[in-house]
Structure 1
C-alpha cells in the first residue's frame, strides 16, 4: 500500500506564488495536452535555484470545487513527474482545462505531463 503522503522530498519543488513569476512564465514556451497546458521558462542565473512550479485554473474549469479538484490533481502529478523529468533552474506553470483535468484518469494525466515536458525540454536549451 503506498504511503498517504507524497514520497517526494518537500524541498525538491518550490511553489510559485508571485504574480510576476506567473506572468514571466506566460511569456515563455508552452505546450498543450488534452488535459492541461504547461508553460515553461528557463530562469536567469541570478534568480532562485531548483525547480519551481505553479498551478492555476480559470473559472472556465468550473466552480470552486471543480477548480480545487483540478489543482489538487495537477499538484500530485507535478510531485510525481517534475523531480525526475523537470529541469533545475526552470519555472513550470500547469494550467487546468475545463471538464478534462478533473475527470481524466490519473495515469493519462501523468502521461500528458511527461509528454509536455519532453516537448518543452527538447525545444529549448
Structure 2
C-alpha cells in the first residue's frame, strides 16, 4: 500500500538518497527502514502560480500511483520534485521517464551531485 510523506524531516532525509534527474522532474529515492512504500511531491513557486503547481502535483500523483505499485522500490521513500516545463510534457513521455529513473534507482545509480549554488544576495564574490 502506498503512503504519503507528510513530515519535512522525511523530505530532508530523501534528499540525502539517490537523485535521478529528468527533463520534467527529479526523483529522489532513499531506504526508509522498513516503513513501506512511501511517496512525496514537491513543486516550488519557481514553477508557476498555484493553478500550475496544483496541476503538476495532480499529474505527479497519478504517475506515482500508477508506477510505484509495480515498479517502486520496496521500503523506500520516493520524492518527485517538479521542474519547469513538467506541466507541458506529455503524460506518456513522463511515464516512460519515471520508469527509467526508477530502473536507475533500483540499480543503485544516481546522477552526479551538483555543487551548491550561492544564494542570491549573499555576501561574497559578486560583480563590483
TM-score (structure 2 length as normaliser): 0.82
Deviation digits for residues 70-102 of structure 1 (CA, Å, limit 9, x no counterpart): 11100000011110000210000001111x211
- Answer yes or no: is the 8 Å Cα contact 1:56–1:96 preserved in 2: yes
SS of equivalent residue, structure 1 residue 93: strand
Equivalent position of 2:46 in the other structure: 60
Structure 1 unpaired stretches of 5+: 1-11
- Higher helix share goes to which structure? 1
- Answer yes or no: is the 8 Å Cα contact 1:35–1:109 preserved in 2: yes
SS of equivalent residue, structure 1 residue 59: coil
Equivalent position of 2:81 in the other structure: 95
How many Å separate the matches in 2 of 1:123 and 1:27? Answer: 13
How many Å separate the matches in 2 of 1:31 and 1:57? Answer: 16
How many Å separate the matches in 2 of 1:51 and 1:101? Answer: 24
SS of equivalent residue, structure 2 residue 46: helix
1:78 counterpart = 2:64: yes
- Answer yes or no: is the 8 Å Cα contact 1:15–1:54 preserved in 2: yes
What is the aligned length? 109
Deviation at 1:27, TM superposition (A): 1.1
